[in-house]
Structure 1
Amino acid sequence: MDEEGWFSVTPEDIASRHAERSGGGTVIDCFSGVGGNAIQFAKMCFHVVAIDIDPKKIGFASNNAKIYGVEDYIDFIIGDFFQLAPFLKADVVFLAPPWGGPTYNTFENFTLDLLKPKDGYSIFQVAQRITPNIIMFLPRNVDLRQVEELSWLSSPPLNIEIEENYIGSYLKGITAYFGNTASRLPTLS
């Protein structure tokens, strides 16, 4: 891993939770980075398509998958998710778009337009063209009303569940589960 990878990788316990909740099948990890989430999906014996625009990150992710013994379950693609999306099919799309580096923490209310490389609404719309079953990992200070909007702006509105993700007593992030990855009723767990 490089320095950015250490900073941006999803903690293993949280990534494992995402994998448990995904429901299986083919999972696309749209901004895979060094592969933390892709590896956890693969450990559940799911087929994973791990996409990142940075060839170095894909190299790190591939090496990390070998260390975990799951490289045969993951197809690594160097590319831009937005250009590839029209050609992708999957049961679940996992979104952990860049939060903008350490500065995300300086915002009291992190809005979806601060996500990179595009705003959260645009990223979500592209993912929805692949499947309504979306898992989105977001900063702990994200505007929850905007996250809920993603559900009811969809046609038809999607089931949504919002989960706080802790490491010990430290709130690390928020995960929003949409479609079949969510419980039947909207909840905050």
Structure 2
Amino acid sequence: MKSVKNLPLTDECHHWTHLGEVPWDLQKYWQQRYTIFPFYDEGIYMTEDAWYGVTPEPVAIHLVYDFVGFISADKRTVIDMFAGVGGNAISLAMATEEDGYTPRFDKVIAIELDAATLACAQNNAAIYDVADKITWVLGDSFKFLELLANSPDKLGADLRVDIATTTIFASPPWGGPGYRTDEIFDLTTMEPYNLAALHEAYKAMDHALYLPRTSDLRQIAKLVPDGVKIDVVQYCVEGASKAMVAYIPAAVEAPAVSPADQSMS
């Protein structure tokens, strides 16, 4: 698995300028385009699916600010597991230290499974002048983590990062029939990846999960041992909640117990 640069925009990538160009089921999202990307008119491109899942820029900026406060200073690499058209990756790449100039992350890795979507992300990041500050990967983010943990030699040299100093941001697809209407959304039904599958893949590192606003807090709480604090934040735009983010520390493995220790217990 290697990083990629300058993927070409395809027929699946759109920059609509008039309402009449927009499919009817996307028109309400397009009418909010300046909330999603204030620089939309500068040449932002989106795939049709991306309109449903992109993080609005005000939310992306705020949650990255919170994310930086959640992680320790030694976390110098961040992996955006579902890059989409770049909303979160752009904000991660623009994050700075308290001086307002020094980049907070030495490396931002953005992974996306769909080539057209990743081409949009690279185009959009260029508009914000951060495309070259992001290492782009076209592929399966779960496969990436598996290789990173078990076969790093199968990754390009620029992708072999130290897990101990790496953190994860994940805004997965939500899927399922109920997240828009359920009063409390059951995260075991989230498609194609439910909460348990995501946490199992990410638990070796501090990670942030961007989830439906009505997600079941009890299910999130069960991810961590008793007594361990996690932060869960609701993010709103113009007074309306858009999503919640759970900031979850890496799991601490219990030390192995030797047979001698067991015999003494």
| Aligned mate of 2:94, from 37, 43, 53 | 43
- Counterpart code for 2:219: Q
Gaps of 5+ in 1: 181-189
Which residue number in structure 1 is paired with residue 153 of structure 2? none
Change (3 A) 1:145 1:103: closer
The alignment status of 1:146 with 2:219, answered yes or no, reads yes
Contact kept, 8 Å, 2:176 with 2:190, in 1: the verdict is no
Q: Which has the larger radius of gyration?
A: 2
Equivalent residues, number: 175
Which residue number in structure 2 is paired with residue 10 of structure 1? 55
How far 1:13 sits from its partner (Å)?
1.3
With normalisation by structure 1, the TM-score equals 0.84
Which residue number in structure 2 is paired with residue 78 of structure 1? 138
Higher relative helix content: 1
Which residue number in structure 2 is paired with residue 184 of structure 1? none
The alignment status of 1:136 with 2:209, answered yes or no, reads yes
SS of match in other structure, 1:126? helix
Contact kept, 8 Å, 1:158 with 1:178, in 2: the verdict is no
Higher relative strand content: 1
How far 1:22 sits from its partner (Å)?
2.8
- Counterpart code for 2:128: Y
Alpha-carbon displacement from aligned partner over 1:15-64 (angstroms, at most 9, x marks no partner): 11222123362110101111100000001132211111111111111111
Contact kept, 8 Å, 2:76 with 2:166, in 1: the verdict is yes
The percent identity for this pair of structures is: 37
- Counterpart code for 2:249: G
Which residue number in structure 1 is paired with residue 14 of structure 2? none
How far 1:158 sits from its partner (Å)?
4.8
1:12-161 aligned within 5 A: 12-23=57-68, 25-44=76-95, 45=103, 46=105, 47-88=107-148, 89=163, 91-100=166-175, 104-129=179-204, 131=205, 133-152=206-225, 158-161=228-231
Higher mean C-alpha displacement, 86-95 vs 117-126: 86-95
- Root-mean-square deviation (CA), in Å? 2.0
- Counterpart code for 1:176: A
Change (3 A) 1:35 1:78: same
Which residue number in structure 2 is paired with residue 176 of structure 1? 246
Alpha-carbon displacement from aligned partner over 1:39-97 (angstroms, at most 9, x marks no partner): 00001132211111111111111111111100121111111111111233352101111
SS of match in other structure, 2:223? helix
With normalisation by structure 2, the TM-score equals 0.61
Distance 1:162 1:54 in 2: 29
Gaps of 5+ in 2: 1-45, 69-74, 96-102, 149-162, 251-265
Change (3 A) 1:118 1:164: same
Alpha-carbon displacement from aligned partner over 1:119-141 (angstroms, at most 9, x marks no partner): 11111110123x1x111111011
